[in-house]
Structure 1
Amino acid sequence: MSKKRHEHHEEHADESWLLPYSDLMTLLLALFIVLYAASAVNTSKLEEMSKAFKTAFNSGISIFEQGAITEDDQMRKRTDETDERKDDGNKNKSREALMQQEQQNLEQLQKELDKYIGKNGLSSQLDTQLNHSQLLITIRDNALFPSGSASIKPDSQKLAKAIAQMLQQYPGYEILITGHTDNQPIKTAEFPSNWELSSQRALNFMKILLENGKFDPKHFSSTAKGEYRPLQPNDTDAGRAVNRRVEVSILRNYIEPADANSNDRTLSAIANDNKQP
Structure 2
Amino acid sequence: MSKKNKKHEPHEEHNDESWLLPYSDLMTLLLALFIVLYGMSTLDAKKFEELSQAFNAALTGGVSVLDQSTINGKTKNTPTKEQDNQNTSTLTAQNMTQLQKRNELRKQEEEDLEKLKKQLDQYIKQSGLTSQLATKLNQSQLLITISDNALFPSGSALVKPEASALAKALSGMLQKFPDYEILISGHTDNVPIDNDQFASNWDLSFARARNFMEILLQNNKLDPKMFSPIGYGEYHPVADNNTEVGRAKNRRVEISIIRKYQDPDSQVTITP
> Normalising TM by the smaller chain, what interval?
0.7 to 0.9
Verify: 1:237 aligned to 2:260, yes or no. no
Q: Which amino acid aligns with 1:94?
A: K
Instruction: Quote the residue 1:256 is aligned against.
Output: 263
Which string of whole-angstrom CA distances, capped at 9 and with x for unpartnered residues, describes residues 183-216 of structure 1?
A: 1111322111111110100000100110011011
Give the letter for the 2:72 counterpart.
Answer: M
Select 1:49's aligned residue among 72, 81, 85: 72
Find the aligned partners of 1:140 and 1:112 in 2 and give their Cα distance: 19
Aligned-residue offset at 1:76: 4.6
Match of 1:275 in 2: 271
Report the CA distance between 1:257 and its aligned residue: 2.3
State the match for 1:28 in structure 2: none
Counterpart of 1:14 in structure 2 is none
Structure-to-structure mapping, 1:159-238, within 5 angstroms: 159-238=166-245
Structure 2 unaligned residues grouped into runs of 5+: 1-33, 46-70
Q: Which runs of 5+ in 1 are unaligned?
A: 1-33, 53-66, 260-268
Q: What letter is aligned with 1:49?
A: N
SS in 2 for 1:222: strand
Counterpart residue identity of residue 183, structure 1: N
Structure 2 residue matching 1:258: 3-state secondary structure: coil
Aligned counterparts of 1:216 and 1:121: Cα–Cα separation in 2: 29
Helix, strand or coil: the match of 1:274?
coil
Rate the CA distance shift 1:70–1:132 in 2: closer, same or farther, 3 A. Answer: closer
Q: What is the TM-score with the length of structure 1 in the denominator?
A: 0.72
Whether 2:93 is the aligned partner of 1:86: answer: yes
Match of 1:211, SS state, is coil
* 2:134 pairs with 1:127: yes
Q: State whether structure 2 residue 118 is matched by structure 1 residue 111.
A: yes
Tell me the CA shift for residue 74 of structure 1: 5.9
- Residue 100 of structure 1 and its aligned partner are, at CA, apart by 0.3
Partner of 1:22: none
1:168–1:50 CA distance, 2 compared to 1 (3 A): same
Bigger fraction of residues in helix: 1
Give the deviation of 1:83 after TM superposition: 1.9
Counterpart-to-counterpart distance in 2, 1:127 and 1:147: 21
Take 1:234 and 1:152, find their aligned partners in 2: how far apart are those partners?
24
When the two structures are aligned, how many residues end up with a matched partner?
244
- Whole-Å Cα distance in 2 between the matches of residues 125 and 150 of structure 1? 17
Displacement of 1:160 in angstroms is: 1.0
Structure label with greater radius of gyration: 2
Tell me the residue number matched to 1:12. Answer: none
Write out per-residue CA displacement over residues 108-130 of structure 1, whole angstroms, 9 at most, x where no aligned residue: 00000011111111111001011
The alpha-carbon deviation at position 82 of structure 1 amounts to: 2.2
Q: What is the alpha-carbon distance in structure 2 between the residues aligned to residue 274 and residue 222 of structure 1?
A: 12
Amino acid of the structure 1 residue aligned with 2:136 = Q
Deviations 1:37-91 (A, max 9, x none): 99xx87x99xx71455xxxxxxxxxxxxxx3x488x6645543332222111111
Q: Secondary structure at the match of 1:178?
A: strand
SS in 2 for 1:226: coil
Matched residues in 1 for 2:81 and 2:118: separation? Answer: 56
- Alpha-carbon spacing, 1:70–1:250, altered in 2? closer, same or farther (3 Å): closer
Equivalent-residue separation in structure 2 for 1:125 and 1:158 (angstroms) = 14
Alpha-carbon distance between aligned partners in 2 of 1:129 and 1:51, rounded to the nearest angstrom: 59
